[in-house]
Structure 1
Amino acid sequence: MTNKKTLTALLTAFALSSPAAALDLNAMSDEERALFGAEVRSFLMENPQVIMEAVQALEDRQADAQAQADFELVSDNKEAIFDDGFSFVGGNPDGDITIVEFMDYRCGYCKRAFGEVEKLLESDGNIRFIVKEFPILGEQSVLASRFVIAAKQVEGMQAYKSLHDALMSYNGDITLAALRRLSSTFELDTDAIEARMNDDTVTQEISQTRALAQQLRITGTPTFVVHDEMLRGYLPYDQMRAILEEKRDL
């Protein structure tokens, strides 16, 4: 534990149990400060768990503050999150609850989450699922997103879904040749898709999602939005299921 974190925890512990004036070290004489320091050191040596308790209390407060901030961000950006007019909508479009995922095709945790989300959609026929293309892991990520968005624009949502699922299970380098091969397996109009990749409409979709992610302070993938809550990072099936049921009870 760093000295800074230890000091923060210590001050937090005393703030929870002492008047504010008791922490005004500047109001103490040198002798009083030395005595106070010795007493604090002695207490902590005898009760080291206090530091961990104070750190935990501080982390809990920070988590609560982050959750409240996320709630407000989701509320302020509802339309862009849940109804942007261009993102893929799968599962049950008329479902009673919506899961939104910001993802990247080169993100290992996104690939891991893919199976969990698919399991949720298969086991629960009342989930609306939205995919936000958020390529942040380099040129291969951008290439993949451009290709699948172009496929959606040229061939429709089913073509997007086929390529999306294939890429979430794909572990090689993402090149144009690889994307063309995937497209061919689904008998898509690969030439038309490639011709659309650098169109302004594709660029605009990616730019709008990036702007939304910045507004929501999303810096990593996967990030999920469920009802009024942001879930930052991978979550296993059971945990996601529990969160869905909790939100449905609101």
Structure 2
Amino acid sequence: MIRPFLPALAMAFSFALPAQALDLSQMSDAERDSFRAEIRAYLLENPQVIMEAVAVLEKRQEEEQAQSDLDLIKVNADSLFYDGHSWVGGNPEGDITLVEFMDYRCGYCRRAFDEVNELLKTDGNIRFIVKEFPILGKESVVASRFAIATQQVAGAEAYKSVHDALMTFNGTINDTSLGRLADTLGLDANKITAHMDSDEVSAVIAANHALGQRLSISGTPSFVMQDRMLRGYLPLDAMQQIAEEIRTQ
């Protein structure tokens, strides 16, 4: 961890050396040994400097990452917020839009499911968009295809029922279990399953994966809340705090 900060320390110590030694590449072996000894002694006497430098570096990296994420969100705003194929819930007229990239086989997505619902319920002013983002194997893809096919065949309300059921489903996801699920929800299982492998369904998954790649999203859940990228699971109180910060910025 020390190496990135040695140039700065070197600059500080160089002022204590003779003028002719300021060019570090021109130091004699003795001067270089002395210089290294000074740095070592300084760090041993002031070890907190290392942690201070680490903190400064981490803050700078966070700021750079936040700016990079902001730029990515701006460039991809239409695909994020108005793609025309993603399910939209919460308050469609909300002052904040929350987008979730999710996978039905993702444990943290399941953990976030109740907390996102609670956020939407208690806040009441958040527009919520679901991006089907299957990345965890065959069952993930099958589940997403079924959910998307449901939306395209039976509409947004049916999609919400299927989405909620799949987020809490604990069995194996296959044609048989999905057929039973559709029957339980009063949906036309044959019509939905016949549409699962259609080009229209494939196009949605491909578009979401391409968007995720452009946003450097590699895991689920990943969220975009208005102009902020939130990578990974966040508890309810953290999401509420971010929403408050966005409204007051």
What is the TM-score of this pair, normalised by structure 1? 0.91
Q: Is the 8 A contact 1:13 1:50 kept in 2?
A: no
> Per-residue deviation at 1:152?
0.7
SS in structure 2 of the partner of residue 160 of structure 1: helix
What is the aligned residue count?
245
> Per-residue deviation at 1:12?
5.2
Give the aligned partner of residue 3 of structure 2.
7
Instruction: Show structure 2 runs of 5+ residues with no match.
Output: none
**Whole-Å separation in 1 of the counterparts to 2:235 and 2:244:** 15
Q: How does 1:160-239 map to 2 (within 5 A)?
A: 160-239=159-238
Instruction: Show structure 1 runs of 5+ residues with no match.
Output: none
- Cα offsets for 1:63-122 (capped at 9, x unmatched): 110100000111111111100001000111111211011111111111111111000111
- Cα offsets for 1:213-244 (capped at 9, x unmatched): 11111111111111111111111111111111
> Per-residue deviation at 1:179?
1.8
Give the aligned partner of residue 36 of structure 2.
37
Give the aligned partner of residue 248 of structure 2.
249
Give the aligned partner of residue 143 of structure 2.
144
Q: Is the 8 A contact 2:222 2:231 kept in 1?
A: yes
- Counterpart residue identity of residue 71, structure 1: L
Q: 1:174 to 1:33 in 2, by over 3 A?
A: farther
> Per-residue deviation at 1:174?
2.2
**Whole-Å separation in 2 of the counterparts to 1:168 and 1:212:** 22
Q: Is the 8 A contact 1:13 1:51 kept in 2?
A: no
**Whole-Å separation in 1 of the counterparts to 2:170 and 2:74:** 36
Give the aligned partner of residue 99 of structure 1.
98
**Whole-Å separation in 1 of the counterparts to 2:22 and 2:134:** 48
**Whole-Å separation in 1 of the counterparts to 2:164 and 2:99:** 16
SS in structure 1 of the partner of residue 2 of structure 2: helix
What is the TM-score of this pair, normalised by structure 2? 0.91
Identity score, percent: 58
Q: 1:38 to 1:136 in 2, by over 3 A?
A: same
Q: Is the 8 A contact 1:9 1:58 kept in 2?
A: no
**Whole-Å separation in 2 of the counterparts to 1:137 and 1:219:** 11
**Whole-Å separation in 2 of the counterparts to 1:127 and 1:160:** 19
- Kindly name which structure, 1 or 2, has the bigger radius of gyration based on alpha carbons: 2
Q: Is the 8 A contact 2:10 2:39 kept in 1?
A: no
> Per-residue deviation at 1:170?
2.1
**Whole-Å separation in 1 of the counterparts to 2:23 and 2:188:** 73
- Counterpart residue identity of residue 55, structure 1: V
SS in structure 2 of the partner of residue 234 of structure 1: coil
Q: 1:62 to 1:23 in 2, by over 3 A?
A: farther
Aligned-pair Cα RMSD in Å: 2.1
- Cα offsets for 1:158-216 (capped at 9, x unmatched): 11111111111123332222222222210110111100000000000011111111111
Give the aligned partner of residue 115 of structure 2.
116
Runs of 4+ in 1 over 6 A off after TM superposition: 18-23
Q: How does 1:51-90 map to 2 (within 5 A)?
A: 51-90=50-89
**Whole-Å separation in 2 of the counterparts to 1:173 and 1:237:** 29
SS in structure 2 of the partner of residue 131 of structure 1: strand
**Whole-Å separation in 1 of the counterparts to 2:170 and 2:234:** 21
**Whole-Å separation in 1 of the counterparts to 2:188 and 2:22:** 71
